[in-house]
Structure 1
Amino acid sequence: MTYLHHAAAANDVEAIHALLAKGADLEARDGEGRTALLVATHENRVEAAAALIEAGADVNARDHIHDSPYLYAGARGLLTILKLTLSHGADLKSTNRYGGTALIPAAERGHVEAVEMLIAAGVRLDHVNRLGWTALLEAIILSDGGPRHVEIVKRLLAAGADPRLADAEGVTPLTHARQRGYEAMVKLLQAAGG
């Protein structure tokens, strides 16, 4: 881990600027393949992340497990950092180790605002990951059926997610919602033609 990584983890913007002025490598990697920006993102160090991004850090630089600052911020609902990555060249087509876009784990984890931000940015709604699931399917299958996930299903459908796109076994979102007793989701899916 470099001094820049430590400064990023500590949210020490002064040190970041000083290290960069002395020629620190913005894209240097630690033992896990993380850049200083990804370290800042993991710790949700907003000021450090902003300083690194403004200095030109790559928001799409991946670590050993294929996380990038953009993908991680989306998956974890780190809204300020996500917004910064989106305005600084985030690759909306990039995928995580499961072959999913940032939208899929954001939907699964119930991050309503992140889902909305990613939809607005233009992330493909019906992208299918290696598990055979879309963001809509994950919002149903891996959720508790609560209000945040119902809202995500509502927003995905309103944005044009295909309510009939089945999983790898041919099970539709509506069938998954019915099997789990998620009545609010069932109504939304039926209204959308699922």
Structure 2
Amino acid sequence: MKPFRPILMRALCVAALAFAAAAAAGCASTPMPVLPVAETSGAHPDLRRYDDEWFDAARVGRVDILQALVAAGYPIDATTRDGYTAVILAAYRHQPDALEYLLRAGANACIGDQHGNTALMGVIFKGDTVLAERLIKTRCPIDEANKAGETALSFAALFGRVDLVPQLVARGAHLEHVDTLGRTALQIAVQQGNAATVAALENVGAQHVPGQALYNHP
């Protein structure tokens, strides 16, 4: 990760004073310039030069830097070249405080990366139940699909996240949704040979396709 730039650190001092943070005491002695202030509508175009600092702050959980840039008008839903938002990065790196700040500040948790994978899909892949439960509670459509037609429930079935299956279904996940290969979550679990996930899906009402074997062996 690149070192945070001096001008951004000076901006943090000003932001700390504004928020009356305890750490502001060390900043008060020397007046320092602040980042460009946002225009009345939209972010100052120069703020995109702080992309590296913004995304690095999300990765390592530097809420103070995220706050300073948001206060200066940085676009909270900016993406990397791979389509990653700060929400995706904070969630994937298990930075709960940064994720919570971003969500409360109005960041859009529904934005997917270049493959359509959302922050929720990312934490399900990683097995991060705590952050998955938090993201399930956002206003994002629970059956939002990536470019492979996979939903959060598909990911739970694919990676055996048994504990998340009932939560996703309770939130409204459609058991009969099919991906681009025509597979339901139950069919995915069957193909994975994961009896526990199959049972979890059956317990919430998933039905087997007639003639399909319980396990598909290579």
Regarding TM over 0.5, the answer is: yes
Q: State the partner residue of 1:28.
A: 48
**TM-score calculated relative to the size of structure 2:** 0.71
Post-superposition offset of 1:173? 1.0
Q: Matched residues in 1 for 2:60 and 2:6: separation? A: 12
When normalised by structure 1's length, the TM-score is: 0.78
CA 1:2/1:140 → structure 2, altered by over 3 Å: closer, same or farther? closer
The residue number in structure 1 matching 2:182 is 170
Number of residue pairs the alignment of both structures matches: 181
Q: What does 1:107-186 align with in structure 2 at a 5 Å threshold? A: 107-141=124-158, 143=159, 145=160, 149-186=161-198
Unpaired runs of 5+ residues, structure 2, are 16-31, 37-45, 207-218
Percent identity of equivalent pairs: 27
Are positions 1:40 and 2:79 aligned together? no
> Which fold has the larger relative contact order, with Cα–Cα distance below 8 Å and residues 6 or more apart in sequence?
1
- Note if contact 2:91-2:123 (Cα within 8 Å) is conserved in structure 1: yes
Gap change, CA 1:157 and 1:77, over 3 Å in 2: farther
Q: CA deviation at 1:18?
A: 4.0
| Cα shift at 1:153 | 2.2
Question: Contact 1:40–1:49 (CA<8 Å) still a contact in 2?
Answer: yes
Distance (whole Å) between structure 2 residues aligned to residue 183 and residue 167 of structure 1? 21
Paired amino acid for 1:171: R
CA drift of 1:40 comes to 0.7
Unaligned 5+ runs, structure 1: none
3-state SS of the aligned residue for 2:164? helix
Q: In the alignment, is the contact (CA less than 8 A) between 2:70 and 2:76 conserved in 1?
A: yes
Aligned mates of 1:35, 1:154 — CA distance in 2:
38
One-letter code aligned to 2:54:
L
- Say what the alpha-carbon RMSD is for the aligned residues: 2.8
Amino acid at match of 1:17: L
Instruction: State the alpha-carbon separation in 2 of the partners of residues 35 and 192 from structure 1.
Output: 44
- Measured in 2, the distance between the counterparts of 1:57 and 1:16 equals 13
Alignment of 1:75-86 (within 5 A): 75-86=92-103
